[in-house]
Amino acid sequence: METRSNQILVGAVVLGLLLAVVVFMIWLSQLSEGGRKSYDVFFQQSVEGLNKGSRVTYSGVPVGEVDLIELDPRNPQFVRVRITVKDTTPVLAPTRLPNGESANDGTTATISGVGFTGVSEIQLTLPDSARAPGQRALLTCPNDGPSPVCPYGVPVIPPRPGGFAAILNSAPELLERVTSLTERLTAVFSDRNQQSIAQILDNVEQLTGSLGERGPEIAATLAETRNTLRQAGTAVEQMGQLAASTDRLINQEGPALTADLRQSIQSASASLQALEAAVNDARPGIQTFSTRTLPEVGALIRDLRATSESLRNVSERLDQRGVGGILGGERLPDYNPD
């Protein structure tokens, strides 16, 4: 019994020593590596190729590793990735704008593939900013515990679209667009459209041949057109000279012509006035002629017409019966008894 108790004691001492050695080694590793900080990254894209223990780099320099990969319990559309990096890694917060919003100039995380091995890693980058990193604040959580900024107690690094994972995520949509484009190209280059295109090419070839054969005629037509344009330019120049001569003639002789025209108008006006006075003077005579003379003239014409009728009758009698027909009366017809 006493021997068994000694064995248990020895075993306990050995386990304690081993535990102490392990703790000492962990402490040495932490001492050699310095302090570490944890951050969360919420990706809305596939994290294929990313595993626990995957490398975390900052501008290509390894600074930490992935500790946890899981779906966000609050929103399964997001994948929560917990990373741990050295506390000397400059994970900077975005700059606060005067209106209270945050600028997009803080540290961001991207999933990037490592060569063609299918393994991915997380890259931390700092967008360009006018302020130096030493003048920027580090990304930390508020002192009042979990908040929308730190839902799981550690700061959240915003993701940045890009990298090989983003290309893989967009691959289905890209393949769908390529398929749609292929179908459209197939419809465009159908047998019927190919025949139409061949006919169009044949017509173009015939048209080109016809133009080649009629090249001299086209050249002659162009030469005639050039000559016509030259003649038109000459005619326009002559018209300009004629307009200038007309303008000069009007400027030189225009005042004399205007004076003569004015004098002629004045003479015509005086003649019209004299004619109007003469008409006014003759108006009473015209009225007397209309009311008295014209009726008398009408009666005279009627008398002349009656006299003319009588003379016609006398002339007819003279022709038919002679002088006796005018001087004697009507002759009775001879009586012839049966």
What are the tens digits of pLDDT across the range 11-21? 777 788 888 88
Contact 64, 85 (CB under 8 A): yes
Q: Are residues 176 and 158 in the same domain?
A: no
Q: Are residues 195 and 124 in the same domain?
A: no
pLDDT above 60 for 3: yes
Give the model's confidence band at 325: pLDDT under 50 very low, under 70 low, under 90 confident, else very high.
low
Gap between the Cα atoms of 240 and 92, Å rounded:
80
The number of folded domains in the chain is 2
Gap between the Cα atoms of 24 and 188, Å rounded:
74
Q: Are residues 165 and 41 in the same domain?
A: yes
Q: What percent of the chain has pLDDT over 70?
A: 73
> 92: exposed, middle or buried (C-beta count within 10 Å: 0-12, 13-18, 19+)?
buried
Q: Are residues 137 and 183 in the same domain?
A: no
Q: Is residue 97 domain-resident?
A: yes
**Among 202, 226, 258, which residue terminates a domain?**
202
Q: Are residues 161 and 174 in the same domain?
A: no
Which residues constitute the domain of residue 72? 35-169
Q: Is residue 86 domain-resident?
A: yes
SS3 114: strand
Does the pTM surpass 0.75? The reply is: no
Q: Residue 67's pLDDT is what?
A: 93
Q: Are residues 78 and 143 in the same domain?
A: yes
Q: Is residue 46 domain-resident?
A: yes
Q: Are residues 139 and 91 in the same domain?
A: yes
Gap between the Cα atoms of 245 and 248, Å rounded:
5
Q: Is residue 270 domain-resident?
A: no
Give the model's confidence band at 267: pLDDT under 50 very low, under 70 low, under 90 confident, else very high.
confident
Q: Is residue 307 domain-resident?
A: no
Beta strands in the chain (DSSP E): 36-43, 55-58, 61-71, 79-86, 108-114, 119-125
Gap between the Cα atoms of 31 and 46, Å rounded:
36
Q: Are residues 51 and 109 in the same domain?
A: yes
Average pLDDT score over the chain: 76
Mean pLDDT of 212-217: 79
Contact 80, 157 (CB under 8 A): no
Q: Are residues 100 and 191 in the same domain?
A: no
SS3 254: helix
Q: Is residue 335 domain-resident?
A: no
Tokens encoding 58: 């900052």
Q: Are residues 70 and 165 in the same domain?
A: yes
Tens digits of per-residue pLDDT, 172-214?
Answer: 667 788 888 888 878 777 778 788 888 888 888 888 888 778 7
pLDDT above 60 for 53: yes
pLDDT above 60 for 120: yes
Mean pLDDT of 163-170: 55
Tokens encoding 54: 């995957």
Give the model's confidence band at 42: pLDDT under 50 very low, under 70 low, under 90 confident, else very high.
very high
pLDDT above 70 for 126: yes
Mean pLDDT of 316-331: 58
Q: Is residue 67 domain-resident?
A: yes
Taking alpha carbons only, the member of 325, 304, 306 closest to residue 314 is 325
Q: Are residues 159 and 69 in the same domain?
A: yes
Q: Are residues 55 and 138 in the same domain?
A: yes
pLDDT above 90 for 56: yes
Edge to edge, the sheet with strand 61-71 lists: 36-43, 79-86, 61-71, 55-58, 119-125, 108-114
Contact 175, 130 (CB under 8 A): no
Q: Is residue 74 domain-resident?
A: yes
- 227 vs 250, more confident: 227
